[in-house]
Copies of this chain bind each other. A is one copy, B any other.
Amino acid sequence: MMDLFDTLTRSGLSEKAAKALSKIPHKQVQVDPRRPFREPGHDRDEVIFIQTGLLAKYKPDGSGRRQIVALRFPGEGILPAKGKAPYGIQAITKADLMVGQASDLEPILEEYPEIANFFYKLAERQQAIGYEWLVNCGRRDSMARVAHLLCETAERMKVDPAKEAMRNPFTQQQIADITGQTSVNVNRVFADLERQGVIRRDGRLVHFEEFDELRRIASFQPDYLS
């Protein structure tokens, strides 16, 4: 389980500021997958920090389908802002969250200007990821998109693909919602990747048999994640 104080100090925040941040009044929430946690249009007056599990921001597209526009892994969070969010929030896997009020955050932001700067850096990283996802959806073919998501997920879950298998946290439908396809096609891509010997599946476990090849297929350049 990710500890907030540790995460903050390890990301370069001063002990004082980190302590102040992690002392914000908050409630501990557990979110089940599939059940929406916040609907599109919800008030963005909360600070959310993820301890375990996986959260997704999603947007409906007008017809029944939806697009997942961002993921949050343990140690990451969702920051507050003015107004309503144009996206909903949903758990991918059962998640433990710390949820605080934006109003409790503000005085701390004023006291420690370094935190605003810190938040800005976090937003930068999320933006870089968003750009990469756009390239993924806009320019790569079906197989590259799935491969890219696998590479990014391994990296963000801190799985070393050379040494260990990764427990794939997504259903094929969710992968489809991230990569802009249908679950039927995601299934075929997975079968292809396995037939080519790039990955091996064992239930939800994914073994990276040839990670370099997977990275090549995905044209995955991990620098945007740092």
For residue A29, CB closer than 8 A to chain B, the reply is no
Chain B residues, CB < 8 A from A84: 223
A61 with B121: CB separation less than 8 A:
no
A65 to B135, CA, bound (A): 10
Task: Select one of B86, B117, B139 contacting A131, CB under 8 A.
Answer: B86
How far is it, in angstroms, between the C-alpha of A67 and the C-alpha of B127 when the chains are bound? Answer: 15
* Contact digits for A167-188, partner B, Cβ 8 Å, 1 yes 0 no: 0000000000001100000000
Given A66-B139, A81-B121, A120-B119, are A131 and B61 neighbors across the interface (CB < 8 Å)?
A: no
> Which chain A residues numbered 90 to 131 have a C-beta less than 8 Å away from chain B?
109-110, 113, 116-117, 119-121, 123-124, 126-128, 130-131
Contact of A70 among B121, B131, B132 (CB under 8 A): B131
Complex interface: chain B residues within 8 A of A87 (CB)? 131
Judging by beta carbons under 8 Å apart, are B86 and A223 in contact?
A: yes
CA of A109 to CA of B61, assembled, Å: 38
Contacts of A137 in B (CB 8 A): 134, 137-138, 180
| CB of A59 closer than 8 Å to a CB of B | yes
- In the assembled complex, the Cα of A61 lies from the Cα of B65 at a distance in Å of 26
Q: Is A57 interfacial (CB-CB < 8 Å)?
A: yes
Question: Which residue of chain B has its CB nearest to the CB of A216?
Answer: B62
Chain B CB within 8 A of A140 CB: yes
Residues of B near A223 (CB, < 8 A) are 84, 86
Partner-B contacts on A (CB < 8 A) = 57, 59, 61-62, 65-67, 69-70, 81-84, 86-87, 109-110, 113, 116-117, 119-121, 123-124, 126-128, 130-135, 137-140, 179-180, 219, 221, 223-224, 226
